[in-house]
Amino acid sequence: MIMRISSKTIYDVGVGQISSLQSALARTQSQLSTGRKNLTAADDPIATARALEVTQSQGINTQLVTNRANAKGMLSLETVALHSSGTIMQDIKTLLVNAGNGSMTQKDRESLAVELEGRLQDLLGQANSSDGVGGYVFSGYKSTTLPFTQTATGAAYQGDQGQRSLQVGSTRTLPISDSGASVYENNATGNGTFVTGAAPGNLDRGGSGIISGGSVKDATQLTGNRYQIDFQVVPASPGVPKVTTYTVTDLTLNQPVPATPVPAVPQPYVSGQNITFDGMQFDIKGDPADLDSFSVEPSTKQSVFTTITDIISALRAPGDGPAGQASLSNKLNQAHLNVDSAYDNMLSIESAVGSRLKELDYLDSSGDDLNLQYATTLSGLQDVDVVKAISLFTQQQTNLDAAQKSFKTLSGLSLFNYIS
């Protein structure tokens, strides 16, 4: 049976086939020009959805890189301020040692006091360090508030206790600041457990007793109570030497130490001999006067600016003669412990900041690896195989050329061409 094909059918079929080949060729050309194998979501819905998820994760990772850079900037500023503050504290410790020289005159001590005033201003400058964007490093959440203002007794903290933080990892939020209170005010007085001191009246009575900072002998016996050591002096008489004794009173419980017998039996005083009770141990040297007293109290928190201001006041107080030297030594001994506590606190915080910076380096390395993984995954989902696409493009181009030539030949087979 002979099937007759009309000229219209020949044209419709030919044009349709050529259009299909052209569309396929154009699609391959678009893949090559864009480098993407999936031009629309319909090409591969699953790969497209997966690529969207990976792209979102990649964007989050990019933001975390920015966050880590900002965190490094803030922590680096804090490190500089803490290091400079530590250097200032070392200078102050040196000045304290010099101040204890018994050969110094009141004029010499005044020179040291003036120098300490300069160090106090330097330290305030570091505590009020700017973050470079209109805020302050140590003001907590109140970033635009000047952290410290100088007062007659040291400095007043205007910030809050907040510790700013940033998300620097998918599951890690890192502190990027420390409050000024934790750096410059959170310093234990004395030896960290208790603080010893001499009563101001000792100077007027001419006593030259000097009490040490002491140490903890047995932590299990500590009470956290307040104590007072009172001296009694019986002057020497012909044939009878001077007798100096002391009693210890627990001011919190209002009873002698030890509690029995009552009244308390005065203990003989020997210069430099350890005095031990309720887990604490210290000594008193020199020659206390009758009714002189010394205190032992639980450690508290004190601002480093208060400590420095107290040192300046001590240097400007009368310090001549045995009693004056003893009064100055008692104040300087206490100041040494307080300065050491403040310096150790700064070093501890500086170390913590260094640990955060090191962690950020690790997170950066991990983030780089993760970004490479995301890029590799996206490439597998989206990137076209260039060699395969070029081969396909050449094949499609050949097919299109053949289709066009054959259509031209077929469309030319018409009976009208042979009718003369």
**pLDDT bracket for residue 260 (50, 70, 90):** confident
Q: How far apart are CA 145 and CA 136, in angstroms?
A: 7
Cross-strand pairs, 231: 246
Whether a cis peptide bond, with omega within 30° of 0, leads into 263 is yes
Residues, the chain: 420
Residue 31 vs residues 15, 44, 156, 391: alpha-carbon distances, Å? 24, 14, 67, 13
- Look up the pTM and report it: 0.80
| pLDDT tens digits along 138-150 | 999 999 999 999 9
The mean per-residue pLDDT over the stretch 248-267 comes to 88
| pLDDT tens digits along 220-245 | 999 999 999 999 999 988 888 899 99
What backbone torsions phi and psi does residue 147 show, to the nearest 5 degrees?
-60, -50
| pLDDT tens digits along 208-224 | 999 999 999 999 999 99
Q: Choose among 209, 297, 295, 205: nearest CA to 248.
A: 295
**pLDDT bracket for residue 125 (50, 70, 90):** very high
Q: Which long-range contacts (C-beta less than 8 Å, at least 24 apart) are formed by 384-393?
A: 384/31, 384/32, 384/34, 384/35, 384/36, 384/37, 385/37, 386/32, 386/35, 389/28, 389/31, 389/32, 389/37, 390/32, 392/28, 393/25, 393/28, 393/29, 393/32
Answer for the pair 215, 337: CB distance below 8 angstroms, yes or no.
no
Residue ranges of domains in the chain? 54-189+339-370, 194-298
Does the domain at residues 54-189+339-370 carry the CATH identifier 1.20.1330.10? Answer: yes
| pLDDT tens digits along 9-50 | 666 666 667 677 676 666 667 666 666 666 665 666 776 677
- pLDDT (0 to 100) of residue 419: 60
What backbone torsions phi and psi does residue 365 show, to the nearest 5 degrees?
-60, -45
Distance of CA 382 to the CA centre of its chain: 42
